[in-house]
Amino acid sequence: MTYPGILPNTADALAAPFWAATRQHRLVAQRCARCGRFRWTPSEVCPDCLETRAAWTPLSGRAVVWSLAVYRRAMHPAFKEAVPYTVAMLELPEGIRMLGMVGTSTGDADRDGEVRIGDEVAVDYLDIDDEITLVRWVPTATGHVGENE
Amino acid sequence: MRLSEPRIAIAGVGATAQGELPGRTANEIAVEAIELALADAGLTKQDVDGLITCRNLQAHTGIDEQIGELLGVTPRFGATLDYGTGNFSLHLAAMAIRTGMAETVVLAYGTNQRSAKADFGIAVGGGAEMASVAGVVHVAGRAALAFRRHQHLYGTTEEQLGWVSVAQREWAQRNPLAIFRTPLTIEDYLASEPLVAPLRRADLTMISDGGAAMIVTTAERARDLAKRPVYVDGMAQRTAFRADHDADSLMRPWLGRLADDLWSTSGYRPEDVDALYIQDATSVWVLQMLEWYGFAPLGQGGEFLASGATRPGGSLPVNTNGGQLSEAYMWGWLHLVEAVRQLRGEAGERQVSGAEVALDVSSHDFLKGAASILTTRP
């Protein structure tokens, strides 16, 4: 089966540790060696304190939906067989935001109502082949937790 | 209050046909636009001592070294900007003129991105691959995330947003240059299927080919030229270098700081503006910038749009050319061309009566914003 979407370049020097971790079903991000802030997306410098050193650190794997959108039409040919699918901007308790794909039973969160803004989601993993594992987010039993702000 | 001397003026504008221009290169289209702008100003290429071009994002074209060679000129000042929207080129031209490095600068942008089938699907900017892997491709995805957040925070409705596209289509029906002129009602809008919910086709720019150019010079020089000068009395920019995954890159509160700079350095106020031009890669940008520039309180842009204020006959005409949603995807350049034509009284059946002050606001790639106040006031 061909994966209907865009796959990462897991050899990319900056992001390789992230993809190596997802392969083991772990979610990690760089944590600055000086100021302790988390970085996302992977970066060679901390945008807060300009430190270069960082440690790849496990994340809780939980997030709150800040906003979401439903692709009913593929806006890139790679996703032609993937629609409908739902994407979200997620707020992580570690103080970073990630864009992510959210899995629901129909893929269309507007129709199945399984994810709304303020809902908690948890990380899940999609093994693509022997080298690549993608991150997916799924609704949790906790459901609506409101927002951080 | 003026930023500094000399006062800057737009002396000529040019726009090619828009839509599909098969078999033509982007640079050739830019040169045609330059010829039109020179003719508009009553100048020839020998009168120009500056050239500022705009690189095409999807191709290594639009470089001043390429267009200058086609144009056969040896200007004192030449530069290429890596981002569009016209405003940035206009500001660079003003800086070149004020430092004495040039007196009369031609600015141009040309593209054949529709005929060349350019790929707009992949996000650009920091974190682009992570966004694409998550399925967030095309500007529509991030615009939909931003709009749904706006809905959540302020109760904005899809119908309110729909008035952006409907009002601009009404204006486009009065503009012979516009590509999309078939009527669009709010009922048509609401009946259409979302592409990236909650956004519809009408909320998104359609890629097109075309060219635009402007002649920028000193107010003193402009007074001797063919057309009534349009003065540039306010300029401001802001760059918020952030990754795609940052909330500020979606809601863009930093545009409010850009607006503060614009109003405080120019002495103009929102109530001075007779016609407003907002670069509209998506309709969501119009909603956002109405608020950040102070034309509607934060969160009330939807109500403002639904009141009909931006439509023909409304209190604040917005994108009287039809904008990128209905006229053409010219990266904001045609907004400036239209503002100049409105201020000169050349806009035909879409003319805004007595228009003396126009504001053009634009943004690039979620991280750069720019604004210019144009006026015919002496």
Whether A6 has its CB under 8 Å from any CB of chain B: the answer is yes
Instruction: Grade residue B81 by pLDDT with cuts at 50, 70 and 90.
Output: very high
* pTM, rounded to two decimals: 0.95
| Å between A79 CA and nearest CA of chain B | 8
pLDDT attached to residue B247: 79
Distance between CA atoms of residues B34 and B13, nearest Å: 8
CA-to-CA separations, B22 to B19, B254, B332, in angstroms, rounded = 9, 39, 22
Distance between CA atoms of residues B360 and B323, nearest Å: 11
**DSSP SS3 for A7:** coil
Q: B174-199, pLDDT tens digit by residue?
A: 999 999 999 999 999 999 999 999 99
Distance between CA atoms of residues A70 and B147, nearest Å: 12
Tokens of B64: 């001043």
Q: Which of A41, A75, A99 sits opposite B121 (nearest CB)?
A: A75
pLDDT attached to residue B3: 55
Q: Which of B127, B135, B246 sits opposite A71 (nearest CB)?
A: B135
The alpha carbon of B348 is separated from its chain's Cα centroid by a whole number of angstroms, namely 21
Whether A134 has its CB under 8 Å from any CB of chain B: the answer is yes
Backbone torsion region of residue B275, taken as left when φ is above 0, otherwise alpha when ψ lies between -120 and 50, otherwise beta: beta
Q: B319-346, pLDDT tens digit by residue?
A: 999 999 999 999 999 999 999 999 999 9
Interface of B with A in 239-268 (CB under 8 A): 243-247, 250
Distance between CA atoms of residues B364 and B345, nearest Å: 29
CA-to-CA separations, A68 to A73, A112, B6, in angstroms, rounded = 15, 14, 49
pLDDT at B121 over 80: no
Q: Which residue has the higher pLDDT, B330 or B246?
A: B330
pLDDT attached to residue A144: 85
Backbone angles phi, psi at A22, to 5 degrees: -65, -30
Q: Which of B130, B137, B244 sits opposite A79 (nearest CB)?
A: B137
Which residues on neighbouring strands pair with residue A67, listed in sequence order?
A: A89
Whether A1 has its CB under 8 Å from any CB of chain B: the answer is no
Q: Which of A42, A69, A89 sits opposite B247 (nearest CB)?
A: A89
Backbone torsion region of residue B217, taken as left when φ is above 0, otherwise alpha when ψ lies between -120 and 50, otherwise beta: beta
Which residues on neighbouring strands pair with residue A28, listed in sequence order?
A: A58
Closest CA to B375 of B276, B229, B230, B217: B230
pLDDT at B118 over 80: no
Distance between CA atoms of residues B274 and B354, nearest Å: 8
**Which of A89, A98, A106 to mutate: most B Cβ within 10 Å?**
A89
The residue ranges of every structural domain in chain A are 12-59, 60-149
Q: B141-165, pLDDT tens digit by residue?
A: 999 999 999 999 999 999 999 999 9
> Closest residue of B to A80, CA-based?
B135
Distance between CA atoms of residues A53 and B18, nearest Å: 50
Closest CA to B191 of B181, B200, B182, B179: B200
Mean pLDDT, rounded, of chain A: 94
Distance between CA atoms of residues B10 and B219, nearest Å: 8
Taking each helix axis from N to C end, the angle separating B64-71 and B26-41, rounded to the nearest 10 degrees, works out to 60
pLDDT attached to residue B222: 97
Q: Which of A72, A89, A99 sits opposite B193 (nearest CB)?
A: A72
Interface of A with B in 75-114 (CB under 8 A): 75-79, 82, 85, 87-89, 96-101, 108, 110
Q: Which CATH number fits domain A60-149: 2.60.120, 3.30.1330, 2.160.10, 2.40.50?
A: 2.40.50
User: Cβ distance A117 to A67 under 8 Å?
Assistant: yes
Q: Do B134 and A68 touch (CB under 8 A)?
A: no
Q: How far apart are the first and last CA of chain B?
A: 13
Mean pLDDT, residues B69-73: 96
Q: Do A41 and B194 touch (CB under 8 A)?
A: no
Instruction: Grade residue A31 by pLDDT with cuts at 50, 70 and 90.
Output: very high
Instruction: Grade residue B120 by pLDDT with cuts at 50, 70 and 90.
Output: low
Mean pLDDT, residues B268-291: 98
pLDDT attached to residue A149: 47
Q: B22-59, pLDDT tens digit by residue?
A: 999 999 999 999 999 999 999 999 999 999 999 987 77
**DSSP SS3 for B199:** strand
Mean pLDDT, residues B244-260: 89
Closest CA to B166 of B311, B346, B49: B311
To the nearest whole percent, how much of chain A has pLDDT over 90? 89
Q: B212-233, pLDDT tens digit by residue?
A: 999 999 999 999 999 999 999 9
Which residues on neighbouring strands pair with residue B214, listed in sequence order?
A: B13, B107
Chain A residues in contact with B152 (beta carbon < 8 A): 67, 117
Distance between CA atoms of residues A37 and B15, nearest Å: 49
pLDDT at B122 over 60: no
Backbone angles phi, psi at B4, to 5 degrees: -170, 175
Do β-strands B194-197 and B275-278 pair in parallel, antiparallel, or remain unpaired? unpaired
**What number of CA atoms fall less than 13 Å from residue A19's CA on the CB side?**
21
Instruction: Grade residue B268 by pLDDT with cuts at 50, 70 and 90.
Output: very high
Q: Residues, chain A, total?
A: 149
pLDDT attached to residue B42: 98
pLDDT attached to residue B310: 98
Distance between CA atoms of residues B372 and A97, nearest Å: 33
pLDDT attached to residue B367: 87
Domains of chain B are: 8-118+207-222 (3.40.47.10), 146-206+233-378 (3.40.47.10)
Q: Which distant-in-sequence residues (6+ apart) come within 8 Å of B281 by Cβ?
A: B139, B143, B204, B205, B324
pLDDT attached to residue B85: 82
User: Cβ distance B262 to B360 under 8 Å?
Assistant: no
**DSSP SS3 for B151:** helix
Provide the ipTM: 0.96
Q: Which distant-in-sequence residues (6+ apart) come within 8 Å of A149 by Cβ?
A: none
Closest CA to A89 of B242, B58, B164, B83: B242
CB-based burial label for B224 (10 Å; 0-12, 13-18, 19+): exposed
pLDDT at B127 over 80: no
pLDDT at B125 over 50: no
pLDDT attached to residue B1: 44
Q: Which of A76, A85, A88 sits opposite B121 (nearest CB)?
A: A76
Q: Which residues of A48-68 are buried (b: 16+ CB within 10 A; e: fewer)?
A: eeeeeebeeeebebbbbbbbb
Distance between CA atoms of residues B299 and B292, nearest Å: 10
Q: Do A87 and B193 touch (CB under 8 A)?
A: no
Distance between CA atoms of residues A42 and B274, nearest Å: 45
Instruction: Grade residue B62 by pLDDT with cuts at 50, 70 and 90.
Output: very high
pLDDT attached to residue B286: 98
Distance between CA atoms of residues B171 and B160, nearest Å: 18
User: Cβ distance B82 to B367 under 8 Å?
Assistant: no
**DSSP SS3 for B153:** helix
| Å between A143 CA and nearest CA of chain B | 17
Closest CA to B293 of B246, B354, B363, B232: B363
